[in-house]
Amino acid sequence: MVENIAELNRLLLAARLLADEERSAAVEAVIEQCRSTVIEGRMPDHEVTIKFGMLLGFLTEHRSRLSITEAGIAFLTLNQEEGYDLAEEQKRLLLRSCFLQGPLRLPTRRLLKSFSPSYKTGTYKWSAIDSGPLDAEEWLVEHLRQLGFLRRDEDAIEVEERYVTTVAAFLEEGAGWTEEQAEEYFREKREIGTLAEELIVKHEMERLRGAGASVEAQCVRRISLVRVNAGYDVESFNGAARDMNFDRFIEVKGSRGTDVRFLWTENEIKVAKKLRGKYWIYFQGGIVLENRLAKNLPLLFQDPIESIYKDARLTATPQGIIVEGKVRGAARP
């Protein structure tokens, strides 16, 4: 790992200087430019610095050419004097965006979990004499020291006082998810959604058969397999339909839990406003993936623009609206 984080400035300044019209520069040319500027007698391994810059998301490499990312440009902009040493604003940005969040979050958290509150000094402290093993590599401790986050002497490492509250909040966040854990979560969500749609298709077929519409029951379909942006998942019928024209359009929401809670996207809301009474949301709770079934009957919301907006608790998000709570407009099948 790079020994001195300030090497990022030398590298990014060289990459910017040599960038062509497409904002990229040859890796070898950037390395040679870095070698031509000897600073305080130091001549580090610039390839290591490049890898570190890529880890932080400041650089990308394609076909032996380097490009500075938007994050790298923002970082470099904070170095107004274009010097070698890190500016204070650069330190703050690195600390928050790369160590307390971002690519180095988990190793930073493991390190800080080795610390204990020091009531004598009013901060967090690790002691070679009194504490357990330090769960971190030496370079991470040194990086955080360079950023003004940690201070150390021969036998102890402490968090700087101005960051005590930050550390307390950081440790309360929990470990978060690894990329593998996040993928597992979304994989399960996809499986739940798929199973919920399959169960609702079966439910609709049974409902229509019970209403004497056996032909219509055979024609229920998952439009989500054909049009992913339809705004609903299943096309069905209210009952017998002489013209065989779909007149019930169902958006399926599935959950392992039984409490009503789901995301209603902007596109789904737009379509619901257009179709009104023909548009339904079926909430299929109690899904058991392992057995490919649901413990509960679905809750049905006809014209959710009317029923959900009146009764549910709504939370706006950039992706749509989170709907939750007991909704009086829901009906049992």
pLDDT of residue 327: 54
Report the sign of the C-alpha dihedral through residues 204, 205, 206, 209, in that order: positive
| Cα dihedral 277, 263, 229, 256 sign | negative
pLDDT band at 132 (very low <50, low <70, confident <90, very high): confident
Give the angle subtended at the CA of 263 by the CAs of 105 and 237, to the nearest 5°: 150
Nearest to 246 by CA among 222, 229, 268, 266: 222
pLDDT at res. 311: 66
Among 119-133, 140-154, 225-239, 306-320, the least confident range: 306-320
At residue 43, the pLDDT reads 74
- In tens, the pLDDT along 81-114 reads 988 899 999 999 999 889 998 889 889 999 998 9
**Cβ–Cβ < 8 Å for 49, 39:** no
Rounded percentage of the chain residues whose pLDDT exceeds 70:
90
Q: What is the share, in percent, of the chain residues with pLDDT greater than 90?
A: 55
The answer to whether residue 186 scores a pLDDT higher than 90 is: no
**End-to-end alpha-carbon separation of the chain, Å?**
61
The predicted pLDDT at position 21 comes to 84
Minimum mean pLDDT range among 57-71, 120-134, 179-193, 274-288: 179-193
Q: Which helix (H) or strand (E) holds 315?
A: strand 313-317
Mean pLDDT of 246-273: 92
Please state, rounded to an integer, the average pLDDT across all residues of the chain.
87
Residue 180 above 70 pLDDT? no
Question: Mean per-residue pLDDT for 134-152?
Answer: 93
Higher-pLDDT residue of 234, 97: 234
pLDDT at residue number 169: 84
What is the predicted pLDDT for the residue at 319?
A: 66
Q: What is the DSSP letter of 201?
A: H
CA angle 11, 16, 19 (to 5 degrees): 120
Could you report the per-residue pLDDT of 195-229, keeping only the tens digit for each?
Answer: 999 999 999 999 999 999 999 999 999 998 888 88
* Nearest in space to 136 (alpha carbons), one of 108, 156, 167: 108
User: Range with the lowest mean pLDDT among 43-47, 63-67, 238-242, 289-293?
Assistant: 43-47
Q: What is the pLDDT of residue 184?
A: 66
Question: All domains of the chain, ordered by start, with CATH?
Answer: 7-86 (1.10.10.10), 105-172 (no CATH), 179-324 (3.40.1350)
- Other beta carbons within 10 angstroms of residue 219's beta carbon come to 15
pLDDT tens digit sequence for 3-45? 999 999 999 999 999 988 888 999 999 999 988 877 766 678 8
What average pLDDT does the segment 251-260 reach? 90
